[in-house]
Structure 1
């Protein structure tokens, strides 16, 4: 049995999982909430966005199960464990992909990107050495092209079989209409679920292509240290979800408490809260986060026994940076909640509750909070993509997550020098760009659908 290691950010990922499961159960039991969420998933774009985000989250969750593998030991000896900590993603996908190389290699290359010294016929020469981690069948470019084509064709064949089997299963569970063709019945069966079907089909095809190609080649090349770039981008998904989710979790208590209190009590309470979030907003957030991150780094360096391994140090820095972003980013949501609470406080049902002697805390909890939940939900979903982009900026200027942690910002920061090389090493930046766009665009499209469904002032949210 391996020795499991539980990191603080692992707790964040599993907390998100628990919240998603609890939210799903609540939505299923609440007809009114279920009707609103059905509006969100009534269009194909939010359906596809949800599938993409869910797949990315599952990959991040697999990277949040850490353990130290057990080493071989003689019978009767106490178990010994490896000094390195790996994740479930590392032990499955990481051990299956093409092996590590010496340095840079371009996508689907069979030789290294730079020349290296080697002995040929007893004489030292400079050559493009053959990559060690890829399949030995690809000795020349023509061999590589033929092998890639055959593997891609095999993946497409399996995808076609899976698609045909899924279509047959759907048709078998869909009642037939006399005179209706199978294609029309299939369209009728997936009507309203086209986004789910298209996203699932595309992701299955991508997974099959990687299944056949990734074990033999580096689809996005390797970086300066010879690590697979595509695998680094996949592992960066966990960092994006931890930062976005933990920052939102940290931000919500401050924004909800101060925003509702300022709008409900007004007077000196409103003045204090306005002064507080105006002061925070007046300080450039990048400078505030950078200063705090440097202080955390100094503390970690001065207390090495608290966090003995590089993984624990990098994880602690990631945790605190996410918390700092949340603590310094609640002002905008607090302003919205303050304004909405002021409007609600003048309505008749709030006045009646006050006249009946209902305590202020009960009024805010039972009457104000449920009526501002749509604002909290919309801002939280929209803010997730902003925080993902924020991390890229922080890492680019050198105050983001630890360099040992995989993140989109770290990949972009590393590509800053690579883009100035001749010839240019472009694939590190390209991989980070593709995955970041996929995460941010999916989150924004999903957030737009949530806003339309939950905002009473929107066209679709009003039920018109």
Structure 2
């Protein structure tokens, strides 16, 4: 094979999470009471626009979660000689961005370096000047042609994105139209928004994303559209690579938190007595300790263990992934207390309703009552908390990486980008593009997650239903 799959630990967990989501979708499709709230979410234009943006982030994150090793050139296929470098599908697709490394900082769309360097002239003299970049705008013989070249390439990318969007829309209309409806009639109905699902909003958002993506990809082949960092790496590529880190922190941490919160919260509310007292003492004590101190202490212990046992990791990316996984575990263990309180209070109310009392009188076991009757009736609280906590966990990663106790410094993340850019904010002229790029990408993910979470909360919260 030309490649050898080498999945990381977080890759496996992501695949398991996708399988669980697919299984839940199949289960929910067979139960009408679960489909009704999701239909309400699907009727909200803002929620669907946010979902389209989230799916774009997820697609990039999944591309960055397929890791493999390429076969070495000239090696015997029978010997299976593979490279020691572990790449992801995103790394492979974005090879031009990954391999085009400049000397140091350069501004977005710049043709010359940001700082002066000593350049030796043809006559042997040495001058201090801003040298031309090796890759950014290297195809231009005259720097004065940059504006016209960018405008021409934007036009080409815009036409290509429009053609792609129209082709996708035509395929959609072909399957969406009614049996006796023509393509033109279906297109008019789509433009009018005459459907329960806001397809007009969905396709408008998708068109904007396709337009921005096509221009960013095409221009990045010739320019550093977001500049380069201190070691000359493309900031736009680093921002794309950071998407996976944010998604992993937001999803896997929630996955780790749920068993603790659901088990302890339902048990405390159902059994009451000494069980309730013990669980309350546990989460009250844990909540009394500043979460940052717990995370810092755990990360420092983890760093000492990783330093003393370097033989556990055969690559740098495996070491960084191990730390990312443990950061998710630490955040999950320290963040389950608030959901546990909510589930305890709701269970205290549910245990007194008539059908719970009838089940207990008929001899149903405690486990059956908690699993068959209480858990489904508190699922809306769990789901609302999950979607609301996602954006908070993404921001928490940025804060922890900023103070030096987040993900490994060798791993791409928005927090590491902000941490590396903070010292450059005081220089003159200011290096602003790393911070701006991390902010834009993080803002897009967190805002879309919050908008979608609001729709989910309104749909699943019984007090908000009309």
* TM bracket, shorter-chain basis: over 0.9
- In structure 2, relative to structure 1, the CA distance for the partners of 1:337 and 1:111 (3 Å cut) is same
Instruction: Indicate if the aligned counterparts of 1:112 and 1:129 stay in contact, CA closer than 8 A.
Output: yes
**Does the residue aligned with 1:216 lie in a helix, a strand or coil?**
coil
Q: Normalised by the size of structure 1, how large is the TM-score? A: 0.94
Return the offset for 1:189.
6.0
Determine if contact 1:97/1:214 at 8 Å carries over to the other structure.
Answer: no
SS across alignment from 1:395: helix
1:401-441: CA deviation from partner (whole Å, max 9, x where unpaired): 00000111101101110111111000000010001111111
Give, in angstroms, the shift of residue 246 of structure 1.
Answer: 1.2
Map of 1:57 onto structure 2? 58
Deviation at 1:72, TM superposition (A): 1.8
Distance, in Å, in 1 between the alignment partners of 2:231 and 2:203 is: 39
Question: 1:247 maps to which residue?
Answer: 253
1:185 aligns with 2:186: no
11-20 or 337-346: which moved more? 11-20
Q: Name the SS of the counterpart of 1:118 in structure 2.
A: strand
Displacement of 1:170: 5.6
> How far is 1:21 from its partner?
1.8
Q: Distance in 2 between matches of 1:70 and 1:190?
A: 53
Aligned-residue CA RMSD (Å): 2.0
Instruction: Tell me what 2:35 maps to.
Output: 34
Summarize deviations over 1:205-249 as a string: whole Å, max 9, x none.
112112321111111000001111011111111001111111111
3-state SS of the aligned residue for 1:72? Answer: coil
Check whether the contact 1:260–1:338 (CA below 8 A) recurs between aligned residues. yes
How far, CA to CA, are the matches of 1:71 and 1:107 in structure 2? 35
SS in 2 for 1:286: helix
In structure 2, the partner of 1:174 is: 177
Query: 2:75 & 2:52 partners in 1: Cα distance?
Result: 47
Quick check: 449-458 or 12-21, which moved more?
12-21
Deviates more, 1:283-292 or 1:33-42: 33-42
Which runs of structure 2 are paired with 1:156-305 in the superposition (5 Å)? 156-166=158-168, 168-169=170-171, 174=177, 184-188=188-192, 191=195, 192-305=198-311
Task: Select which of 385, 395, 400 maps to 1:394.
Answer: 400
| 1:74–1:453 distance in 2 versus 1, CA, 3 Å | closer
Alignment partner, residue 369 of structure 2: 363
Secondary structure of the residue aligned to 1:149 is helix
Distance in 2 (alpha carbons) for counterparts of 1:345 and 1:363: 9
Equivalent residue in structure 2 for 1:144, among 146, 158, 165: 146
**Is the Cα contact below 8 Å between 1:167 and 1:186 reproduced in 2?**
no
Paired residues of 2:9 and 2:325 also in contact (CA < 8 A): yes
CA distance in 2: counterparts of 1:66 and 1:169, whole angstroms: 32
SS at match of 1:84: coil
Specify the alignment match of 1:123 in structure 2. 125
Q: Is the 8 A contact 2:101 2:234 kept in 1?
A: yes
TM-score of the two chains, using structure 2 as the length reference: 0.94
Shift of 1:303: 0.4
Partner of 1:12: 13
Gaps of at least 5 residues in structure 2 are none
Residue 174 (structure 1) shift: 3.5
